[in-house]
Amino acid sequence: MSADVLDLARDWLAQDPDDETRAELEDLIERAESGDEDAVDDLDDRFDGRLQFGTAGLRGALGAGSNRMNRVLVAQAAAGFAAYLRERDPEGTPTVVVGYDGRRNSDVFARDSAELFAGAGLRAVLLPRRLPTPVLAFAVRHLGADAGVMVTASHNPPQDNGYKVYLGGGDQGSQIVAPSDAAIAASIRRIADGTTVAELPRSTDYEVADEAVVDAYVTATAAVGPAPDGAAGTRWVYTAMHGVGWETFSRVLETAGYPAPVLVTEQIEPDGSFPTVSFPNPEEPGAMDLAFAAARAADAEFVIAQDPDADRLAVAIPAADGWRRLTGNEVGLLLGRRAARAASGTPGASLACSLVSSPGLGAIAEQYGLGFHETLTGFKWISRAPGMVFGFEEALGYLVNPDTVRDKDGISASVAFLELAAEARGRGATIADLLAELTREIGFYASGQVSVRVAEVSAIATMMAALRADPPVAFGDLSVDAADDLLQDPAGLGGDVLRYRLVDGSRLIFRPSGTEPKLKVYLDVRGESVEDSAARLAGLEAAVRELLDRLA
């Protein structure tokens, strides 16, 4: 281990206000100095650079070090963000709203941030308790704030936490994008390089928002889809995945007039240890097993799941062999069709989705005479699409009420989906029937995903480099008709993304995950029938897995 790493660790230790991470780091330093190679490797990893703003701001494992989430890193981030906001408005007093979820240390990081914002001369407003991410996104606009911070790692593993940043004003409460992200990162770095945490001014003179903010969110969200006549008697199951969604969602349901669901009681209360799931993400295998068991016992018509900060929605329906979670694309296309029908004839109205989401949304937009925008992944891009009345990405994210929340919102999306289900129920149809109607309208689209989880993030860069160095000319029996490297995109879309269009019209997209150590491959086909689409998708998936086995 180099002396530089030890010096960095000692400097970090000297300014760490957290007893737990101090003890953790003291032990590592002592073991490393005595020659413990595991401790040496651990220290090297912890101080190998800094967590950087990515798809969702800062996000990483809790622990001591510049490459972890902790009170030192959060203090530097808050002070740097405050300096950035002051530079943008040197004559005014910027307002920042701070929210937090139920993860470990979320409340600590939020209070630290509020104190540092107030100490820097900003007006800091702390939300009254742990709340869903969409409530924070709503509050930024509702309160006319200049910025917002949400302490959450969304659906990441239990050991993670994160720091999500929003901008108000002209950014309308959307997440940060370039060049703001780079400017904020540079401001944070200046703080980290030039000031210790103990020297940063703090103040307890911050505000705690009253319940009126939450009340306003509940009212606005209930208005997204008031319960139609068909809602009465609906049997459905809900899980909060050990997150913070239920308290707010239950109020929205009551206000909108929907019947109460059967609750997955084991997962309904916030618990940052997520005891019943390995990954608190409805997409992960096994994460919805308890919900499926509750649905079988209740003879439910469908299941709704939200992730721990309630910004994502998952839906499951009965299937011949049990229960099936709908893909993000299926839910997105159903909600997109709902929005398109409502906006048809509205000048300038458009639908938007990320480039890895189903091209079926473009077909819906064309069907109803709306514009269509394909963006980079992440709602920081989707939310900025001109004229957007609905946006989604296949990773269970949906933006159904852009006039109030410019981010994905699992609660408002749940209300919109409940309205769809209730309207169908009122005419004797099911969610499966809605999917069949959609297919008859736009064609037989099918989507899939293959992911490779890696131990070292550098392995993803190696695989992407290998694809660029030796581009595939075919996937199975299908030749590549066109290939796009979005890093070289002349239209300026940008991003570490490789896109392949095949001779039969199928599409494959390779990209690193923005929030997890995964390489993701997205597959989209359009066939002549359900069976043909399924067969095409299965053939592509087999070809992709074969290629990834060679790259790994």
Residue 525 has pLDDT above 60, yes or no: yes
- What is the tens place of the pLDDT at every residue in 17-43? 999 999 999 999 999 999 999 999 999
Mean pLDDT score, 415-437: 97
Residue 285 has pLDDT above 60, yes or no: yes
Residue 56 has pLDDT above 70, yes or no: no
- pLDDT band with cut points at 50, 70 and 90 for residue 516: confident
Residue 418 has pLDDT above 60, yes or no: yes
CA-derived radius of gyration, the chain: 24
- What is the tens place of the pLDDT at every residue in 297-345? 999 999 999 999 999 999 999 999 899 999 999 999 999 999 999 999 9
Tokens of 526: 């359009």
Catalytic residue from among 106, 113, 154, 180:
154
Helices 245-256 and 212-222 pack at an angle, to 10 degrees, of 50
Higher pLDDT pick, 253 / 49: 253
pTM here is 0.94
Three-class SS state of 297: helix
How far apart, in whole angstroms, are the C-alpha atoms of residue 253 and residue 258?
5
Phi, psi for 108 (deg, rounded to 5):
-65, -50
- pLDDT band with cut points at 50, 70 and 90 for residue 497: very high
Mean pLDDT score, 149-167: 96
543, burial (CB in 10 Å: exposed 0-12, middle 13-18, buried 19+): buried
- pLDDT reported for residue 102: 98
- pLDDT band with cut points at 50, 70 and 90 for residue 282: very high
- pLDDT band with cut points at 50, 70 and 90 for residue 83: very high
357, burial (CB in 10 Å: exposed 0-12, middle 13-18, buried 19+): buried
Higher pLDDT pick, 187 / 53: 187
Q: Given CA atoms 374, 280, 405, 168 in this order, what sign does their dihedral have? A: negative
Phi, psi for 23 (deg, rounded to 5):
-65, -40
What does each C-alpha distance from 514 to 49, 87, 128, 549 come to in angstroms? Answer: 17, 29, 30, 22
How far apart, in whole angstroms, are the C-alpha atoms of residue 11 and residue 14?
5
Helices 410-426 and 328-343 pack at an angle, to 10 degrees, of 70
Reference 163, options 118, 128, 117, 199; nearest CA is: 117
- pLDDT band with cut points at 50, 70 and 90 for residue 54: low
- pLDDT band with cut points at 50, 70 and 90 for residue 493: low
Residue ranges and CATH numbers for the domains of the chain are 1-48 (no CATH), 68-210 (3.40.120.10), 224-441 (3.40.120.10), 444-551 (3.30.310.50)
Phi, psi for 460 (deg, rounded to 5):
-65, -45
Residue 384 Rama label (left phi>0; alpha psi -120 to 50; beta): alpha
Residue 53 has pLDDT above 90, yes or no: no
Residue 214 has pLDDT above 60, yes or no: yes
Residue 491 has pLDDT above 80, yes or no: no
Question: HSE on the CB side for 426, CA within 13 Å?
Answer: 12
- pLDDT band with cut points at 50, 70 and 90 for residue 382: very high
How far apart, in whole angstroms, are the C-alpha atoms of residue 520 and residue 16?
36
Q: Please provide the DSSP assignment of 255-290 as one string.
A: HHTPPPPEE-GGGSS--TT-TT-SS--TTSTTTTHH
- The one-character DSSP state at 198 is G
- pLDDT reported for residue 517: 82
Mean pLDDT score, 160-183: 93
- The one-character DSSP state at 349 is -
Mean pLDDT score, 194-204: 97
- What is the tens place of the pLDDT at every residue in 427-455? 999 999 999 999 999 999 999 999 888 88
Percent of the chain with pLDDT over 90: 89
Mean pLDDT score, 122-150: 98
- pLDDT reported for residue 262: 98
Query: Is 533 designated active site?
Result: no
Partners of 485 in beta bridges: 498
